[in-house]
Amino acid sequence: MVRQALRSEAARLILLDRVPLHQETENEEVHTVDLRDAAAVESVLAGAGRVLHLGGIPDEAPLPDLLEANVLGTHHVLEAARRTGIERVVLASSNRVTGFYPATHLTGPQEPVRPDGLYGVSKAAVEALGRLYADKFGLSVVCLRIGSFEQLPTEPRHLATWLSPRDAVGYIRAALTAPLSTRFATAYAVSGNTRRFWELPGPAELAYTPADNAELHATAIPATDSPIDPAAPQAGPYALPEFTLKHLRP
């Protein structure tokens, strides 16, 4: 989705994946790279102006795997940016870094992290790395706490957490093009849902106003009128012990 949107706006779009990609337009440049290979990451990012980092394990997994892919991989991207002079890095964080706040609490990015699992822990570490590289090395880093990215909301939790494709592209575009005077920012990337759990970013954090609202699709989702337990965590089933226990040694 992001590739299709950005390639019409960039003079050169460099695409990295650990599986082979195919060049689809003349301004695309594709590379097969594993984020664990620091030298390879630096080599292909040399000459880039800004970086959007979406790579990693996207869900609960054993902690060693998450540390290697998400944390070490992000470190390699940030190091490549530092060493090659790239000024802006946008990091894909997750709403799961604050999944244990109650569903009735409107959570802002300045509140302490409360990860709902090992995946959330890895994304909290990703944000900490971004902050370090902003403070210590002067990179401009934006962390997007991505909501439930779906074509349409399909379950009750999505009424709070949905991130539409249109709004996902809007947030990413805003994060890539924000003034470089924005040294570090963390923002929830979520559509303008009436029932959302998270604060929308202000203009000082990110100049984007979401266009979509999951409430418009509520009638197509079963059980949307069930009462909300005020103590229930925002993460829903992701907060259950069973969700993490299967990735731990018995």
pLDDT digits over 115-173, tens only?
999 999 999 999 999 999 999 999 999 999 999 999 999 999 999 999 999 999 999 99
69's CB contacts (< 8 A; 6+ apart) are 35, 36, 55, 56, 57
CA 197, 202, 207, 212 dihedral sign is positive
Residue 229: predicted pLDDT: 86
Residue 87: predicted pLDDT: 95
pLDDT digits over 219-231, tens only?
999 888 877 788 9
CA distances for 185 relative to 89, 171, 199, 204, 220, angstroms: 11, 13, 14, 9, 35
Taking CA 97 as the corner, what is the angle to CA 246 and CA 6, rounded to the nearest 5 degrees?
Answer: 110
119 is catalytic: yes
* Residue spans of beta strands (DSSP E) within 55-139: 88-94
Number of CB atoms found within 10 A of residue 122's CB: 28
Mean pLDDT of each 10-residue bin along the chain, 250 residues long: 93 96 96 97 96 97 98 98 97 98 96 98 98 98 98 96 98 96 96 97 92 96 83 96 95
Length of the chain measured in residues: 250
Residue 76: CA atoms inside 13 Å, Cβ hemisphere, count?
22
Burial class (CB in 10 A: 0-12, 13-18, 19+), 138: exposed
CA distance 14 to 32: 11
The answer to whether domain 2-245 has CATH 3.40.50.1970 is no
Residue 227: predicted pLDDT: 76
Amino acid at 34: D
DSSP β-bridge partners for residue 94: 146
* Residue spans of beta strands (DSSP E) within 190-231: none
Answer whether 0.75 is exceeded by the pTM.
yes
Active-site position among 119, 171, 188, 208: 119
